[in-house]
Structure 1
Amino acid sequence: MESIRIRFKPDGFGNALYARVSWSKLSDTTARPIALVFHAGGLLAGSSEIVPPAQTAFLAERGFVVVAPNYRLCPQVTAREVVVDCEDAYDWATSALSNILQSEHGLQLDGQRVVTFGHSSGATMAMLIGASRPVKAVTAFYPTLYASDVSGSAHQPCSVPPFNLMPEYEPSEEDWESITPAGTQISEAPLPVPGTIPPPRNRWQGSLLKKGQWLSTICPDQEFTVIDPLTKLHDNWPPVMVVQGDADRIPGSGIDLARRPCADMRTAGVKEVCLETVKGAPHMFDMQLTNADVEPGWLSVVAGLDWLTRYA
């Protein structure tokens, strides 16, 4: 599999936002469909580098050019600007990217055949792009849902593991300098690594989730509909599959929340909706799974990716 990083837009400080673009060398010379994937991290952490490589390879081997954009991370921007970055990534992937890949790698893209997928908050972005752009299909792995419902779990203090085990944390002045460095827009930040002391950004994010303050932090104007795709339903939505573990306890995610939008989408006229339930699977269950695994988790991942290939 070939993979390169390409600048797709500047951030607010004049630096580059990058997308990782991946494809397989195939003898077929026809124009290739595009799979846009948005990374996890609650809009506060993560990057294109945490997208599971096995999922990228799966789609690349089936003829897709897989585009994984970075986006500006909160709190230096709000969720509204993150959505703009994701929309800009779609627009770039369906226009300028084709010329770049054609001239430098001899690849042709079909900008009319685009699918989106993502993980956690990235799955929410994939659904939002499906609502605003002509996307053929969406697969949402354990998405954050119903942000505009202030009675929902993402707005409430969380007392389940691991959040109940986290000590109280308030960033120091020095911590804030690393979270919001002067003159630099953060668009890539690691996720916490189990067994290590997390950096200030990750400790702060965990504290926000524990206190029920995550959404109000990334949406300081309290306009939660900005990141709630279920407020943007219409009968021209693309086919949507939600892949959800039934042991997911992350605020804003979970099997009960996943059942609800499937019903709402059908009521709104979305023609094809599917829920793939993964028994015993927690949040981000698929990050380390590969095609060497035969467990139900990988089979559900394949179901989600096959959903995209079916419609592209």
Structure 2
Amino acid sequence: MESIRIPYKNDAFGNPLFAKIAWSKSSQGSKPLALVYHGGGVVVGSSGMIPQSQIKYLAEAGFAVVISNYRLAPQVTAKEAFSDCEEAYDWAVNSLPGIMEAEHGVKLENAKAVAYGHSSGGSIALHIASCRPVKAVTAFYPSLFNADTSTSAHKPTSLPPFGMFPDFHPTPEEWATISPADAQVSEAALALPGTIPAPRNKWQMHLVKNGQWLSTIQPDGDYAAIDPLTRVTGDWCPVMIVQGELDNIGGSSLEGAQRAEKAMKDAGVREVQLEVVQGETHMFDLPPTVGTSDLGPKWEAVRKGLDWLVSHV
């Protein structure tokens, strides 16, 4: 599998925002685009979060996989981060084909684009479906119905994992790493088990625990801007949601996925499918063993989500 890293735009500080592009030389012919959006609640994350097993699967199926970073809160709002992802789509469809053919001899089928993402990245993939032409979307455990302030995403939680962490009030020095005055953050690692979380990770945990996540990343209260289900119509492309049965992260739950499935079907979306992963919670697919040494039910659910995209181009 081949991969490169290319800037697709500059942030307000003049620094590049990067997209990772991966493809397989073994697949013949021109390649449709798989546009991928990482999770992290618009507070942490980067293209490095997307499992290699998933990238390889789509690349070997003939796709050029495009994973774009985007600006992270609190320096920008979630609405602005979603806008970055729209620009990443536009760049991938309009500019990337020329770059790939001229520099790598790879032809892209820009009229055949699909989108998928994890958690908040799944929400972004659905957002792209609401405003750009894509052939299909797979959303892994997305945050849903953000505009509905009665949902768990707007409420404090005592449930693990977030409910188990102590409150965190950053010092001025810690806040300077979360929201630096001289640089835009567009890549921030997830907290790894067994390590001391960085200030940004502790802050994110505090926000979710105290029901302040959405009000912080979208401080003007325009939650509809980051809730694509407020814009669902019968013109939407086919959508699959892959949801862990036991997910209890704010905004992501089996109940929310079932509600979204009904809302899309009621709106006339021609193909909607919900794949429930029994006994699994949030981010079940992210461990590097899933799709490599672990080819059990978790990988089978992932494969179904990826095959959904393959079958619609």
TM-score normalised by the shorter chain: which range applies? over 0.9
Partner AA of 1:18 in structure 2: F
Task: Using the TM superposition, give the Cα deviation of residue 277 of structure 1 relative to its aligned residue in structure 2, in angstroms.
Answer: 0.2
Aligned to 1:22: 22
Letter aligned with residue 233 of structure 1: V
Q: Report SS of the residue matched to 1:74.
A: coil
Consecutive unaligned residues of structure 1, counting only runs of 5 or more, are none
Give the aligned partner of residue 152 of structure 2.
Answer: 153
**Which residue identity does 2:7 align to in structure 1?**
R
Provide the residue aligned with 1:290 in structure 2: 291
- Helix, strand or coil: the match of 1:230? helix
Structure 2 partner of 1:126: 125
Distance 1:296 1:120 in 2: 19
Does the CA contact (< 8 Å) of 2:242 and 2:275 recur in 1? yes
Give 1:277's aligned residue: 276
Q: CA deviation at 1:196?
A: 1.3
The Cα of 1:307 is off from its aligned counterpart by 0.1
Q: Distance in 1 between matches of 2:293 and 2:304?
A: 15
Structure 1 segments of 4+ aligned residues over 3 angstroms from their partners: none
Deviation at 1:294, TM superposition (A): 2.6
Aligned equivalents of 1:234, 1:164: Cα separation in 2: 36
Q: What letter is aligned with 1:238?
A: C
Query: Match for residue 305 of structure 1?
Result: 306
Shift of 1:27: 5.6
The reply to whether residue 259 of structure 1 matches residue 261 of structure 2 is: no
DSSP 3-state at the match of 2:116: strand
Query: Quick one: distance in 2 between partners of 1:127 and 1:79?
Result: 14
**Alignment partner, residue 200 of structure 1:** 199
Look up the equivalent residue of 1:303 and give its one-letter code.
K
SS in 1 for 2:19: strand
- Write out per-residue CA displacement over residues 11-39 of structure 1, whole angstroms, 9 at most, x where no aligned residue: 111000000000000362x3210000000
Matched, 1:163 2:162: yes
- Give the aligned partner of residue 8 of structure 2: 8
In 2, the alpha carbon distance for the partners of 1:290 and 1:179 equals: 33
Once residues 23 and 284 of structure 1 are traced to their aligned partners in structure 2, the CA distance between those partners, rounded to angstroms, is: 24
Contact 2:27 2:60 in 1 (8 A): no
Q: CA deviation at 1:247?
A: 1.3
Please give the alpha-carbon distance, in whole angstroms, between the structure 2 residues aligned to 1:243 and 1:163.
22
TM-score by length of 1: 0.98
Is 1:74 the counterpart of 2:46 in the alignment? Answer: no
State how many pairs are aligned.
311
1:138 corresponds to 2:144? no
1:97-117 per-residue CA deviation (whole Å, 9 max, x = no partner) reads 011110111001111000000
Specify the SS of the correspondent of 2:311.
helix
- Identical positions, percent: 53
Equivalent residue number for residue 228 of structure 2: 229
Q: In 1, are the aligned partners of 2:27 and 2:62 still within 8 Å (CA)?
A: no
CA shift at 1:291, angstroms? Answer: 4.3
The 2-side partners of 1:175 and 1:54 are apart by 35
Question: Is 2:27–2:61's contact at 8 Å kept on the other side of the alignment?
Answer: no
- Structure-2 separation of matches of 1:264 and 1:284: 24
